[in-house]
Amino acid sequence: MISNGFLRIEPLQGPLEKISEYCWRIPASYKPGMRVPGIIYTDEKLLKDIQRDKAVDQVANVAFLPGIVNASFAMPDIHWGYGFCIGGVAATDIEAGGVISPGGVGFDINCGVRLLKTNFQYNDIKDKIRDLIFALFSSVPAGLGSKGDIKVSEKEERKLLVKGAKWAVENGYGVAEDLECTEEYGAIEGADPSAVSKRAYERGKAQSGTLGSGNHFLEIQVIDQLYDKTLCDKFGLNLGLVTIMIHSGSRGLGYQVCDDYTKSMIHCLQKYNINVPDRQLACAPVTSSEGQAYLSAMKCAANYAWANRQCLMHLTRKTFEKVFGMSWRKMGMHLIYDVSHNIARIEEHCVEGRNKKLCVHRKGATRAFPDQPVIIPGDMGTNSYLLVGTQKAMEETFGSTSHGAGRVKSRTAAAKSVNLNTLLKELDSKGIIVKASGRRTLVEEAPEAYKDINEVINVVHNAGLSKRVCRMRPVGVIKG
């Protein structure tokens, strides 16, 4: 039916108003206490998947946060998460009492993706892919609680938490030019190691250069579609080129930081008279002692993640050198970019004609500033994409876009419904070689557990939040 000039549908949770082909709104009147509306970028096909869980309601709940400006946003890969939905974006006005919420960052702080190119054409090395995957699986620690050869003392770990990827480069795990292709040059300022608990230090000291488990992966990919020839030329990319994608985060250290602060911030709700409909949205004013402590600890975990991905790339380069008997430079293994997608940043944005300092939460969402590379991976059986950010994203979503495909099945549901042998045959029929540390991980991360990445990319591209550059398909995958 038509209401207030909008086409209204009846979702599983709350009213949604269609305001364009790729944008839907939850009116601020949906729940008493919402300070702003909710905005979900999707199309009608993906909307059906989005409405399967409580993520839409979580978008509305985030709209209760003190200081939130414009809207509570969600990307087309939205699905249920802790406090915030995964795929959620919210900016709070710091001067107006804006808050920071650990639930708006997530447990795997600065989980992110880096993409590097090679000089190889797939047809030239396709017979080596299996050797590469087995060699990488041997040299890159993967799996739940995995530990690597890069072990540091607590004193050295404190340096790592401040310097991030620069620490890795200084210790021989890469080169300075890698930092130029990493967000924040691989280290965000303001990290305070004293804000990190002893337990977090203990969990992080042996996990640098480890992939982890779940949806983390290392993939050998091949470019199979070019969308913007000019940008592809700029990045040195062409059809059939072999690329490598690394997806990992801050491992146990980041998880512990989130766990510590989600618990300690509960008392802030009463202390600062904050009313939210879900205790998982525990938060504190950014300027408060609690807000500053979490922000400092979060930055430490973010820097740990950048160092981790830098070390993982170093191990990858060394493995390629061993298999092909030549230097990584001769193989053209240069970093295209590294982007984070679980983080809160202090940024300046224009709000109602005025530049304001905001705390921008991106949970399962990627920064998409104009012309900045954006990397959005699919699952192990489908495509991944390189895009660039846009001015429209800056104007509408504080420079944010999607981070991946987004789950449609929980890990438990996928484990019950997916047959491992059938899955392996399907991947083999697509020419994808897979190695994993556990059988359960494979079925939990099966393609059918995720939305169609091509549909997600279609939405963010056509909504103008990011512009397609090229598409990759996997030919070899390592899972934790």
DSSP code at position 472: E
How far apart, in whole angstroms, are the C-alpha atoms of residue 244 and residue 136? Answer: 12
Cβ neighbours around 228 below 10 Å, total: 16
Counting other chains too, the contacts that 460-464 makes at CB distance below 8 Å and 24 or more residues apart are: 460/41, 460/75, 460/76, 460/376, 460/387, 460/401, 460/402, 461/387, 462/21, 462/22, 463/20, 463/22, 463/23, 463/41, 464/390, 464/392, 464/393, 464/396
Phi (first) and psi of residue 310, to 5 degrees = -65, -45
How far apart, in whole angstroms, are the C-alpha atoms of residue 104 and residue 28? Answer: 20
Place of tokens 């000039």: 5
| Cα dist from 317 to 150, 333, 334, whole Å | 16, 7, 10
3-state secondary structure string across 90-108? EEEEHHHCCEECHHHCCCC
How far apart, in whole angstroms, are the C-alpha atoms of residue 387 and residue 403? Answer: 11
Tokens of 462: 């056509």
How far apart, in whole angstroms, are the C-alpha atoms of residue 329 and residue 321? Answer: 10
What residues are annotated to the active site?
403
- Burial track 39-48 (b if 16+ CB lie within 10 A, e otherwise): bbbbbeebbe
Measured distance between the N- and C-terminal CA atoms of the chain, rounded to whole angstroms: 48
Phi (first) and psi of residue 19, to 5 degrees = -105, -15
